[in-house]
Structure 1
Amino acid sequence: MAFSPQQAILELGDAFYDPVHPARFPKQILRFRNDRAAASVGLDGLSDTEWLAHFARFEPLPGSLEQPLAQRYHGHQFRVYNPEIGDGRGFLFAQMTDDQGRLMDLGTKGSGQTPHSRFGDGRLTLKGGVREILATEMLEALGVETSRTFSLVETGEELHRGDEPSPTRSSVLVRLSHGHIRIGTFQRLAHFGETEAIAKLTAYVLRHYYGEEAGDNAPTRLLAHVVARTARLAAQYMAAGFVHGVLNSDNINVTGESFDYGPWRFAPIWAPRFTAAYFDHAGLYAYARQPEAIYWDAAQLASALSLVAPEDSLVAALDGFPDAYHRESATAILWRLGVLPRDPEQDRALAQTVEQTLAATDSPIDLFYFDVFGGVLPTSYGEPFAQLRAQLAPYRPRKPRDHPYWSDPEPCAMLIDEVEAIWARIAEQDDWSILHAKVAAIRRMGEALKA
């Protein structure tokens, strides 16, 4: 498709963001360019030289934003309100329309300091960039609504971090996202009592991300949309066996798209207390607590919107989260099982049996879904799977197991040992072939799974 630049964010005005200048980096080594994502917004025809000009030096894309914008927001971090955050090492670089007609953002990570950096250097470690590539590629393949890693450029600086060996290599990352408006964006406005700005932001989100004009009951309608989308996201995380690690309200996009990957992990088994962040000592964002955490964040949006909408209507919209989550959980699990839906009650019961059986047997999540894709359990799955086998019997496959992927000896997975091994080859030998081979393997799995 042809590149279709947009400037929608400028409708909000400068009270919502700060114009900033990108850092200047001593080196610009292109390590990853996502031509598949670029094709969806008409940028796949850029040469590598042009790519570096736009996504390492941040020369404006014609017709889009003339200057990068660091967005303002607050948020609860591990349920403690923090009014001193915002885009501290990233900015909104450009907006455009994708091949589905959606408004998309190109946002950065590691692009330099902003007014919200506080004591940070505004940079991103190269390892952090590599990990974000792996997270987004794997989640996209597993059917999770996620931002996509668009570009990774090594920048030649030595960074010092207290939680990993230092100095370490640096990078700047660009992500393609369906918006960067967060629950924390609304929280900031509520914190200052800016009701007119809340109404303005509500209208912007409804218009550009939900295809509606504000009109009557706009805040309640917005909350209902966000509840539905975030319930879907929570369900997709669980079906993917994914733990985000930091589900703070400033990390929840009002489009329900997952983004901003720090200490993520995939759980090897259905272990409720499995955590991704070493600093999550209480297990607040543990694997099985993610739906609760995302619901809690949605409640913070309801609280912010209560300045401009009746509380009872907001409570009613928020109360839709549990049912939406259970519906979406059935949809996500049936998708991974490779079977077509039959009846909402039966589908929900099947999804519950899958989770209960995986938890009770400590079965590897990725291997189970690999083996059972299409709805037939191998005979190696014995008596503990008897109920699941019976419930699966009437389901029809949503696609045949005719892709070469299904003849592999084991599933494509993304557990922490492999993540560290990929990084070690880069850190020790500057060998990027293992990363690119893994991305190719993940995309091959995605082809086998997709409808």
Structure 2
Amino acid sequence: MFFNHSYAKDLQDLVSPVKVAPLFNAKLRLFNKTLAQEIKFPEHLHQPESLISALFNPQSELNRHSIAQKYGGHQFGSWNPELGDGRGLLLAELRTSESRNVDLHLKGAGKTPYSRFGDGRAVLRSTIREYLASEALHHLGIPTSRALCLISSQEPVYREKQEHGAMLIRTCQSHLRFGHFEYFYHSKQPEKLEKLFQYTLANHFPQCLEQKNAHQAMLSQIVNDTADLVAKWQSFGFCHGVMNTDNMSIHGITFDFGPYAFLDNFEPGYICNHSDHQGRYAFDQQPGVALWNLNALAHAFTPYMSIDEIKETLGEYEPRLTEQYAKLMRKKLGLQQEKQADMTLVNQWLSLLENDKRDYTASFRLLSQANLSQQDVIDHFIGREAAGTWFKQYSRRLELETQSCEQRAMLMRAANPKYVLRNYLAQIAIDRAEEGNFAECERLLTVLQSPFEEQLEHQAYAKTPPDWGQSMEISCSS
């Protein structure tokens, strides 16, 4: 057997069996061959006809044990117990060559008991955005779920307008969210919560079972993994856009892509989600929201930990985040040695970018030149005097480093991408795909697979956005 179904079998009373609802005139448009080989996805399913047939056949190896998971979540700070896999199904798990499980989860699979008033479908534009984003983040070194394949169709789906339905198979360690644990805690189902913890510890945190308090060790791992993730989001200028607890993975990975964005001009309070009227999930709020979400998750641990133990464990978040973020930002400035005033230098640089509305990614890439001069930096800013003053301080700090200019530039280019998934680039690819042309999606994926390389043939993808594409706000609509 290629597939496992441990969640469906071990937690039968926590899930709902649901079969995939076929899409009309479905076509396999994108297939991640590298990922398929990595996770040992069965080769006979690499072929479009075989894969689609397996997805839509209720008795196939992919569809036989498909389930919808139940969970709740804090959405914009308010508790909502009426959540779950409303348009997605856990198909199966694969055991990789590294002896780890990988979930196969189908988005856009049709109605489930948790669809509420929705149709259970995903539209092409949101499916493309998730495929592109998950690959972009992966190749930047940011932990994330990944897309195995994308399927288009001619099935009409109605959102603000009529669109076409699409599907995406997503992979990650598991699809367990903060909201899983919250739901069974708040709904006062201790037996089911205990089952969920036992399953999770045995299958995903086995190392914690060796500790004195396995639940505390598990929470500590989640706290630290989340801190590491958010540090990377902040250093690369990534905005998640909708950090509800049902969109937070216990594995510290980027999960459930909606109205995300990479920063264009550096704007700390940038809001990429047009539904976020209060700015709860603005870029500079992400570190605090992650801690808020961890506090919400920690309630589910109260049957197993004292309040003091929970406070102590949650207290690991801020120092870990601060340490990891500082380490990443020093690398972006080419500072290999740790000095006390380094973060002052980083923050002064960010203030220059904010004041003059300079592009975040392009500005850090500018610093990665081997022959960087004061004039290069001054010419990049409107506030030339402030830029010159900063460069003098930066130059004095670099004198404390031991590597050559060329070595430092090489290391900085490995920390400062030239190419990120700007929303306007994604929109161009979506517009063409909606006309039936997926060539731009393929080209963009090629570029995003080597974000730190020069890629002379793809220089246009490094350009800052045109006016229409600057700081775009994106809808949550799927």
TM-score past 0.5 threshold: yes
Q: How much has 1:202 moved relative to structure 2?
A: 2.6
Instruction: Name structure 1 gaps, 5 residues minimum.
Output: none
Q: Is the 8 A contact 1:36 1:44 kept in 2?
A: no
Q: How much has 1:266 moved relative to structure 2?
A: 1.3
Partner of 1:372: 367
Q: 1:175 to 1:24 in 2, by over 3 A?
A: same
Q: 1:210 aligns with which of 184, 205, 211?
A: 205
Tell me the distance in 2 between the aligned counterparts of 1:341 and 1:84: 49
Aligned positions, number: 436
Q: Is the 8 A contact 2:11 2:195 kept in 1?
A: no
Q: Is the 8 A contact 1:326 1:348 kept in 2?
A: no
Partner of 2:419: 412
Partner of 2:13: 15
Tell me the distance in 2 between the aligned counterparts of 1:422 and 1:347: 39
Instruction: Name structure 2 gaps, 5 residues minimum.
Output: 379-387, 456-478
Per the normalisation by structure 2, the TM-score is: 0.83
Partner of 1:299: 295
Partner of 1:108: 106
Tell me the distance in 2 between the aligned counterparts of 1:104 and 1:119: 30
1:430 aligns with 2:436: yes
Tell me the distance in 1 between the aligned counterparts of 2:332 and 2:55: 35
Q: Is the 8 A contact 2:368 2:410 kept in 1?
A: no
Q: 1:421 aligns with which of 424, 428, 438?
A: 428
Partner of 1:91: 89
Q: How much has 1:416 moved relative to structure 2?
A: 2.3
Q: How much has 1:171 moved relative to structure 2?
A: 0.3
Q: Secondary structure at the match of 1:108?
A: strand
Q: Is the 8 A contact 1:12 1:201 kept in 2?
A: no
Range with bigger deviation, 378-387 or 224-233: 378-387
Matches within 5 A, 1:436-447: 436-445=442-451
What is the RMSD computed on CA atoms of the aligned residues? 2.9
Q: 2:180 aligns with which of 185, 198, 216?
A: 185
Q: Is the 8 A contact 1:357 1:384 kept in 2?
A: no
Structure 2 letter corresponding to 1:288: D
Tell me the distance in 2 between the aligned counterparts of 1:389 and 1:4: 57
Partner of 1:200: 195
Tell me the distance in 1 between the aligned counterparts of 2:106 and 2:350: 36
Q: Is the 8 A contact 2:152 2:167 kept in 1?
A: yes
Q: Secondary structure at the match of 1:152?
A: strand
Between structure 1 and structure 2, the one with the greater Rg is 2
Q: Is the 8 A contact 2:420 2:451 kept in 1?
A: no
Q: 1:97 to 1:334 in 2, by over 3 A?
A: farther
Partner of 1:47: 47
Q: Secondary structure at the match of 2:156?
A: strand
Per the normalisation by structure 1, the TM-score is: 0.88
Partner of 1:321: 317
Q: How much has 1:97 moved relative to structure 2?
A: 2.6
Partner of 2:377: 381
Structure 2 letter corresponding to 1:438: L
1:287 aligns with 2:283: yes
Q: 1:388 to 1:284 in 2, by over 3 A?
A: farther
Q: Secondary structure at the match of 2:144?
A: coil
Q: 1:432 to 1:303 in 2, by over 3 A?
A: same
Q: 1:29 to 1:296 in 2, by over 3 A?
A: same
Tell me the distance in 2 between the aligned counterparts of 1:221 and 1:419: 40
Q: 1:242 to 1:393 in 2, by over 3 A?
A: farther
Range with bigger deviation, 46-55 or 141-150: 46-55
Partner of 2:473: none
Tell me the distance in 2 between the aligned counterparts of 1:147 and 1:360: 35
Tell me the distance in 2 between the aligned counterparts of 1:20 and 1:424: 32
